[in-house]
Structure 1
Amino acid sequence: MDDKIAEQADEHGVSYSEYVREIVRDHHSTPFDGVDEPVVCRDENGEVNENVEGAA
């Protein structure tokens, strides 16, 4: 499967990772679980940062 992905990426003139990202975005069904509520801010320990103040 890896070789086929690399071949398709070459045929479309994009990198391997760009091709994989585009395929995942385009498909309606995916093996990855959807995210109900994404968490944007986490600190260096992986904890959710509740501080929503702007830059000083």
Structure 2
Amino acid sequence: MIEGVHSFRKHEERLAREQRKLSRKKKGSNNRKKQKREIAKLHHTISNVRSDFLHK
């Protein structure tokens, strides 16, 4: 298997899990804000993985 595909799938699964966690948080809470930051970081990581794969 191509490593880019494997790591991308791993990150996608983690993103889904983190988004489910977010959906259980109360709107406006500090924990929700922290979770949204975590998801934003994960989106950035996925973007970097895709970009890296393109340039290899």
Greater C-alpha radius of gyration: 1
Pairwise same-fold verdict (TM > 0.5):
no
Task: Give TM-score, length-normalised by structure 1.
Answer: 0.27
Higher relative contact order (Cα pairs below 8 Å, separated by 6+ residues): 2
Task: Give TM-score, length-normalised by structure 2.
Answer: 0.27
